[in-house]
Amino acid sequence: MKKISDQEFGDFLTNKSLYYKIKAVDKLTVDDSSAYIYHFDFKDKPFKFLCPQEKEIQTFRTEFVDGFHMRLSGIIRTNPDELPYTFDEKTRKLDFKVHLQGICQSCKQKIDFLIHATSDKKWEERKEGINIYLQKIGQYPPFEIGLNKSLKKYLSAEDQENYKKALTCLSISYGIGSYSYLRRVIENEIKRIIKDISELEFDGAIHVREAYQDFQSDFQMSKLIDVINKYLPSSLKELGDNPIRLLYEQLSGGIHEFADEECVEKSYSIDILMNYLITKLNEEKYQLNSVKDAMKNLRKNNS
């Protein structure tokens, strides 16, 4: 059995929009302990969230608030093959909802979530392995659609709007729409991202600068991507793959060749990668400018 980590569950609560579905358990079998099939499996999970009261990111912990189910969760089944109370008697599949409250560990402010847990197979089919899925179907205060500070600062006004439209589509699991808007953002911003990388100081930066200058004349993005593929700042090499190339590859092929669900997954991955990449760029540019200012001040003091 493979189960999502507490960190992955926390990311699901914090960053995923309504109706997004995750696989919480892969191949739950007869010999495995329960995992997200009872209400108490959701208790005391840590996650980071913007506290509505303090307006700062704080640590929250989950508590379920269904008193009736809290009593049921204490029932011990004497027969291990007996159908758990969270499984539907007709379909024999997992099908229950849990009302969770996230409690701020700083001020005790509460956030409410409604989670729907389901399975792809019947309880009796555990020998083959049951997959457990979680879907967030309610949240209060509601999930807010917006860009983080790094994206707001970096993206053009047009692409901020494109990005917001993409996130709006994601909030209703409209994958083709979100993927389409994010492809526009990549197409518009990838040249500027490469230009900003070329202005950093790192081994191989001169080759990136030369390639970018050539691109200004021949407009052959594939050649520019090939150079970027060889030379990256160390902060991006640690990813094990080239994020610039991966983003650029999203521009090839037609959108409608992917299923809507696949487009949802692609959109979430692009969002994570874009946020990481632009945050790293902003950090590196800030550090470089700070070092240049420091050197300038030292030269003034010595003159």
Q: Determine the pLDDT at residue 242.
A: 84
Q: From start to end of the chain, where are the E strands?
A: 2-3, 21-28, 46-50, 57-64, 93-104, 110-122, 130-140
**Whole-angstrom Cα distance, residue 223 to residue 211?**
8
pLDDT tens sequence across 218-265: 988 888 988 888 887 777 777 778 888 899 999 887 777 888 889 988
Q: How many CA atoms lie within 13 A of 65 on its CB side?
A: 13
Residue ranges covered by each domain of the chain = 2-140, 149-296
pLDDT tens sequence across 182-220: 999 999 999 999 898 888 888 888 998 999 999 989 988
Q: Determine the pLDDT at residue 39.
A: 87
Q: Determine the pLDDT at residue 73.
A: 45
CA angle 17–179–232, rounded 5-degree value? 100
- Least Cα distance to 151 among 135, 143, 162 occurs for 162
149-296 fold = Four Helix Bundle (Hemerythrin (Met), subunit A) (1.20.120)
- Rounded to whole angstroms, what are the CA distances from 186 to 24, 219, 244, 278? 31, 16, 10, 12
What is the SS3 assignment for 151? helix
**Whole-angstrom Cα distance, residue 230 to residue 214?**
16
Q: Which residues of the chain have pLDDT under 70?
A: 32-34, 66-80, 286-296, 298, 301-303
Q: Determine the pLDDT at residue 74.
A: 45
**Whole-angstrom Cα distance, residue 173 to residue 280?**
28
